[in-house]
Structure formats: structure tokens, C-alpha cells
Amino acid sequence: MYIECKDLLKTYRSEGTILTAVDHVDFGVERGEFVVILGHSGSGKTTLLSLIGGLTNPDGGTVCIDNIDNWQQTDGELAVMRNKRIGFIFQFASLIPTLTVLENILLPLSFTNDPQGDRQYALELLERVGLSGRQDDLPGQLSGGQQRRVAIARSFINRPAIILADEPTGDLDEVTEQEILAIFKKFNQRGVTFLVVTHNKDLALDQDKPRFFDMQNGSLRETSAL
């Protein structure tokens, strides 16, 4: 298994009560798979992504990526893993408002040594998400959907092996959504593993052999079809 979660548990305390966001989840993803996790809001989908991406400590269980246990790594090693191997697409656009579009896209590559090559690739990605020519704009000058597309371009800039996406097409119109899904498909065909959290069942329609999971009250189970 490329990504493997075993007996994963995450709880939150809120006003004296304990909420179980991820309840003893076991599941695995092979390299190059396109996995869709469906579920209503509050079912624990985002927390699961956080745990897999090494952003939140689990209360129990393990998350292994390529046979390396996330939580046996130091903070620095986790940061390097996030920087080199994972592309994040947030539920919200999550751009830094005072950076230009191009600077936002290049943010994960702040410490690399090929600024010219990086810039060229960033412009290429920007073109792919339909925003060529907008590289010098500030996020405030873009619509919500356009900001989301910039965030998607940013998630691919470090040529990640895994994309963790949280409602990636939430703010997009139908045409743009199809364009983004086409990009996902292209990257998926090149071997990038996708783990997409959504409540949009149509999102995976065009993907090659997607796998579906349903999450309810912190529990995860695989469903065979839409």
C-alpha cells in the first residue's frame, strides 16, 4: 500500500464532551489511485485528510506513506514530506492576499534553487487552469472561483506524488469544474495519487477506475459504485 491508515483515531474536546472525528479507520490506497471520500459536512473527512497529510496528530493508530509512519517522523521531516511529496488543495482558496498570483503558486518552492524553471512551470500551470496573463494580479482582484484555480495550480507546483484535495471544485462553475477534473485526470494518468474529499458524487465520473469511500460519523467504508 502506498498510503495506509491503521486503526486511525482522532477526537476533539468541546465543552466537556468528546467528539470522535475519525473513529478507528482502516484503509489503504495504492500508488496512482484516484480515491474519492464522500460524506456530509461534519462527518470527519477534513480531519482524515489532515491526519494523512501530517497536519494533525492522531490520538491512536498509524498513517504510513510509502511504508514510513508519519508520526514517527520529526516535525522537520514531516514538513519536508509535505513540501516534496504532497500537494494540498484546501476547502477554501487559502491564498496569501498580499502575494501576487505567481508568488502564491511559487510559495511551496521558496527554498528551491531553480527560480527560472519554477517560474516557467508556474506560468504553465496557470495557463492550464485558465488564468494565463493573471500572474501579477493580487488574489483580491480575482473571483472566488479564480482564487480556487490558483490554489489548484499551487498544489501541483512541487510535482507531488500525492494530491490531498478538500472539496476542490466547491466554488467553480460547471465549465471550469470540468477543466479542473480534466487536469486531475491527466496528472492521475501520470501516476499521481489522488485522495479527494467531497460531497459531489459526480466529481469522479470521468476519472479512470476511481475508488469510493463513504464517511459517516467518523467511520469509513468502501462503496462499490456511485
Among 81-89, 124-132, 139-147, 216-224, the segment contacting another protein (CB under 8 A):
81-89
As a 3-state breakdown, the chain gives helix, strand, coil percent values, each rounded to 5, of 35, 30, 35
Residue number, 80 or 205, with CB nearest to another protein: 80
Site map (CB under 8 A) of another protein, residues 119-158, x = contact: -----------------------------------x---x
Q: Is 215 left (phi over 0), alpha (psi -120 to 50) or beta?
A: beta
Residue ranges of E strands in 47-175 = 60-65, 68-69, 86-89, 162-166
Write out the three cell numbers for 213. Answer: 469511500
Beta-bridge partner residues of 31: none
Radius of gyration of the chain (CA): 17
Return the number of other C-beta atoms located less than 10 Å from residue 174's C-beta. 8
Site map (CB under 8 A) of another protein, residues 154-193, x = contact: x---x-------x---------------------------
Q: Enumerate residues 6+ apart whose C-beta is below 8 A from 44.
A: 10, 20, 21, 22, 23, 215, 217, 218
Residue of 31, 40, 84, 201 that binds another protein (CB under 8 A): 84
Residue of 11, 83, 200, 219 that binds another protein (CB under 8 A): 83
Residue number, 98 or 223, with CB nearest to another protein: 98
Is residue 192 within 8 Å of residue 160, measured between CB atoms? yes
At 202, give phi and psi (nearest 5°). -80, -10
Instruction: Say whether residue 111 binds another protein (CB under 8 A).
Output: yes
Residue of 99, 130, 145, 214 that binds another protein (CB under 8 A): 99
Task: Map the footprint of another protein across residues 13-52, applying CB under 8 A.
Answer: 46, 49-50
Return d(Cα 140, Cα 8) in angstroms, integer: 39
Residue number, 94 or 219, with CB nearest to another protein: 94
Closest CA to 63 of 190, 157, 164: 164
Instruction: Say whether residue 68 binds another protein (CB under 8 A).
Output: no
Residue number, 99 or 123, with CB nearest to another protein: 99
List of residues contacting another protein (CB under 8 A): 46, 49-50, 53, 55-56, 75-76, 79-84, 88, 90-92, 94, 96-99, 103, 107-108, 110-111, 113, 154, 158, 166
